[in-house]
């Protein structure tokens, strides 16, 4: 594992920090944001598009890829990096979120979870060992132990059962993992219950993981509840280990999480927003499908250097969006991804300068509902 290390350069257990994740496919300065390439593609964008707007790494979905095209198919083609023609670092999640979002009543057992296939609707089984086997075949730099995410709201007793199940699965994942050229990280659960978040963090760290996901956030709880749960988890994880806040966030969420010690965040939001015509800019979220942009000659943002802003008017992008033209989704997605990349650059600078609270004050109080909504 000598090719894998986290170099913490500023900060410690609590508060904002900066470092570098060193992996065989490159180094990532932290804090960092990972767009979701669930099926080995960030929706509407080719991998070479992503590098051009500053994307440094991505996260792919184990459950979706083991169903189509199949983890073994990807392995036979050289693994995810060769399959995607992506030379930078990659992560895979475990399929644990799908245990939350796709599993029906009674689907979870000690052995694993029965999931509904998004390909053909059939029931498929995912065990901790199969999750690890699939992630090893996919060959990403960072793999994740199978976890069980609690819904919201959830009782304390139910959340405790989910934490204990996650810990038992984590032990099995550790035992099954064989690849020395791949990191395996554990996942902290516990919903909004502080004592369970503390217990989960301590016990997951005790299993010997050297990196951690903080899961089960942004699933319906308030922002205050989410951030309080994150604070507790971070306070009981080893300060020398990287921390990935999973499935979070809005631009404001990114800053809030980094303020509390996050090193990585991932979310589908930038490209999902684009497909709904919601475009990020310094003055707020612009809904490009609105009639007011039909004849607007201005760029989306005259300070942005993405292809959409350099080459095209709001009027043209409005036209593409109204046509439901794939080129429009691509350009709007690249713009939002570039916004996130520029925001991460500003976050890193603010961590170095100690001005992260000032940056937070500059951002609108966007919620996911604000950003994901379709045009008016």
Judge contact between 165 and 149, C-beta under 8 A: no
158-172 confidence digits (pLDDT tens): 999 999 999 999 999
- Average confidence (pLDDT) over 345-370: 91
Q: Are residues 234 and 141 in the same domain?
A: yes
User: Hey, is 37 helix, strand or coil?
Assistant: coil
Q: Compute the mean pLDDT over every residue in the chain, rounded to the nearest whole number.
A: 95
> Is 362 a residue whose pLDDT tops 70?
yes
Same domain flag for 337 and 262: no
* Same domain for 172 and 280: no
Domain final residue pick, 267, 293, 327: 267
**What is the tally of structural domains in the chain?**
2
Residue 337: which of 81, 128, 91, 49 has the closest Cα? 49
Domain match, 337 and 362 both: yes
Residue 376, pLDDT > 50, answer no
Instruction: Indicate if 10 and 155 belong to the same structural domain.
Output: yes
Domain stops at, among 238, 267, 296: 267
* Residues of the chain above pLDDT 90, percent: 88
- 250 and 215 within one domain: yes
Same domain for 244 and 310, yes or no, is: no
Of residues 93, 141, 253, 301, which has the active-site annotation? 93
pTM of the model: 0.96
Q: Do 135 and 76 contact (CB within 8 A), yes or no?
A: no
Lowest-pLDDT choice from 50-54, 120-124, 268-272: 120-124
Q: With a cut of 70, say whether residue 273 has pLDDT above it.
A: yes
Q: Are residues 137 and 254 located together in one domain of the fold?
A: yes
Q: Which residues contact 82 (CB under 8 A, 6 or more apart)?
A: none
Q: Is residue 52 part of a domain?
A: no
Question: Looking at residue 371, what is its pLDDT?
Answer: 77
Confidence of residue 247 (pLDDT cuts 50, 70, 90): very high
Residue 135 has pLDDT above 60, yes or no: yes
Asked if residue 197 is part of any domain, the answer here is yes
- The domain in which residue 142 lies consists of 5-30+61-96+127-267
Distance (Å, rounded) from C-alpha 107 to C-alpha 93?
20
Q: Which of 235, 267, 299 is the last residue of a domain?
A: 267
Q: Is 195 a catalytic residue?
A: no
Handedness of CA 231, 91, 125, 39 (dihedral sign): positive
Sign of the torsion formed by the C-alpha atoms of 96, 98, 99 and 100:
positive
Mean pLDDT confidence for 188-215:
98
Listed range (18-27, 112-121, 156-165) with the worst mean pLDDT: 112-121
Q: Tell me: pLDDT of 283 over 50.
A: yes
Co-location of 181 and 158 in the same domain: yes
Mean pLDDT (whole number) for 73-95 = 97
Q: Which of 147, 253, 263, 266 is catalytic?
A: 266
Q: Any catalytic annotation for residue 141?
A: no
Instruction: Decide if 118 is inside a domain.
Output: no
Burial of 225 (0-12, 13-18, 19+ CB in 10 A): middle
Residues 280 and 258 in one domain: no
User: φ, ψ for residue 29 (rounded to 5)?
Assistant: -65, 145
Identify whether residues 90 and 13 lie together within a single domain.
yes
Lowest mean pLDDT among 48-62, 92-106, 194-208, 291-305: 92-106
Contacts of 66 (CB under 8 A, 6+ apart): 95, 130, 134
pLDDT value of residue 2:
55
Is 36 within a domain? no
Residue 283 DSSP label: T
Q: Above pLDDT 70, what percent of the chain?
A: 98
Same domain flag for 239 and 318: no
């Amino acid at each position: 594992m000598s090719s894998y290390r986290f170099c913490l350069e500023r900060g410690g257990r609590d508060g904002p920090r900066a470092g570098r994740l060193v992996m065989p496919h490159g180094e990532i300065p932290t804090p960092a944001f990972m767009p979701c390439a669930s099926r080995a593609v960030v929706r509407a964008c080719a991998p070479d598009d992503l590098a051009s707007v500053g994307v440094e790494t991505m996260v792919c979905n184990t459950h979706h890829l083991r169903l189509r095209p199949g983890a073994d198919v990807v392995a036979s083609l050289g693994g995810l990096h060769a399959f995607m023609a992506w030379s930078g670092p990659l992560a895979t999640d475990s399929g644990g979120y799908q245990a939350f979002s796709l599993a029906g009543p009674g689907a979870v057992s000690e052995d694993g979870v029965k999931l509904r296939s998004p390909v053909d609707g059939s029931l498929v089984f995912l065990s901790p060992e199969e999750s690890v086997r699939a992630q090893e075949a996919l060959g990403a730099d960072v793999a994740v132990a199978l976890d069980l995410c609690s819904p919201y709201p959830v009782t304390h007793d139910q959340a405790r059962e989910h934490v204990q199940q996650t810990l038992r699965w984590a032990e099995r994942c550790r035992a099954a993992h064989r690849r020395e050229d791949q990191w395996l990280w554990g996942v902290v659960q516990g919903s909004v219950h502080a004592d369970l978040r503390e217990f989960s963090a301590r016990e997951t760290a005790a299993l010997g993981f050297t990196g951690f996901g903080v899961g089960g956030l942004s699933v319906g709880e308030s922002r205050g509840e989410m951030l309080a749960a994150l604070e507790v988890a971070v306070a009981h994880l080893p300060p020398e280990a990287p921390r990935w806040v999973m499935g979070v966030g809005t631009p404001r969420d990114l800053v809030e999480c980094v303020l509390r010690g996050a090193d990585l965040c991932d979310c589908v939001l930038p490209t999902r927003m684009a497909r709904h015509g919601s475009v990020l800019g310094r003055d707020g979220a612009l809904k490009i499908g609105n009639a007011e942009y039909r004849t607007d000659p201005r760029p989306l943002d005259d300070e942005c250097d993405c292809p959409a802003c350099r080459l095209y008017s709001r009027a043209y992008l409005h036209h593409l969006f109204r046509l439901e033209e794939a080129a429009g989704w691509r350009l709007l997605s690249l713009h939002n991804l570039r916004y996130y990349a520029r925001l991460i650059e500003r976050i890193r600078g603010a961590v170095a300068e100690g001005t992260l609270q000032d940056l937070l004050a500059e951002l609108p109080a966007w919620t996911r509902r604000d950003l994901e909504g379709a045009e008016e």
